[in-house]
Amino acid sequence: MTLLGQEGFTSNNRIGMNKTEIFNIVHQRLENDLPHYLTYHDAEHTKTVIEKSVFLAEKEGLSASEIVLIKIAALYHDAGFMLGRKEHEEKSCKLATKELPKYGFSEEQIEIICGMINATRIPQKTHNIYEDIVADADLFYLGTDTYDYYSNKLFLELRHFQPKITEKDWLRIQLDFLQSHSFHTTYGIEVLSPVKKKHLDKLMKMWAKLL
């Protein structure tokens, strides 16, 4: 069942012609305008979230037109960081709302896109399969062997805002976050969650040694 209505995206030639342009323009802006201290929320992160969103959408059997919608949401989900870290999801939605109409997106489609963007806000709250997909794509690394790599990038970024944070503090933050987080998609639950559990077990052992 689709949330897109009868037309979806396939009938809108303007979107079809311009979607590559959207990705190129926005990604270039992310590379140029995101602050250098965003070592985790960088342009490469957005590229990864787009890729993982497509992967999860295909796993869920969504149509090509639905995947376009999901890719656009992934593209914009952290664009708000260009305007500031606080409430960046809201800023991302405002950017999408301002810019997407010129590419042929309707108000209804932009509303769905904003729903997906807001689903990446922590703690995550999702309301449909589209939001499930983008939320899981945003935190896909939690259930992979790249966890330590991205965790270190996030710690480095956090230290810019909280210079006094210690590695012990960060360990506690990771523990609390992994314990409270849940994946939403079928792939996330069946494949990513067991790997995330292994990371959590490892962190719990590290924490126990500090007590």
Per-residue pLDDT of the chain (211 residues; tens, 9 = 90+): 345 443 444 445 455 546 788 999 999 999 999 999 999 999 999 999 999 999 999 999 999 999 999 999 999 999 999 999 999 999 999 999 999 999 999 999 999 999 999 999 999 999 999 999 999 999 999 999 999 999 999 999 999 999 999 999 999 999 999 999 999 999 999 999 999 999 999 999 999 999 8
CB 103 within 8 A of CB 18: yes
Considering the four listed CATH numbers 3.40.50.720, 2.60.40.1120, 1.10.3210.10, 3.40.30.10, the one that applies to the domain covering 1-138 is: 1.10.3210.10
Closest to 130 in 3D by CA, of 206, 74, 47: 74
32-39 long-range contacts, CB within 8 A, separation 24+: 33/82, 34/81, 34/82, 35/81, 37/157, 37/160, 38/81, 38/157, 39/153, 39/154, 39/156, 39/157
CATH 1.10.3210.10 in the chain is located at: 1-138
Locus of tokens 């209505």? 5
- Which pTM does this prediction carry? 0.92
CB 66 within 8 A of CB 7: no
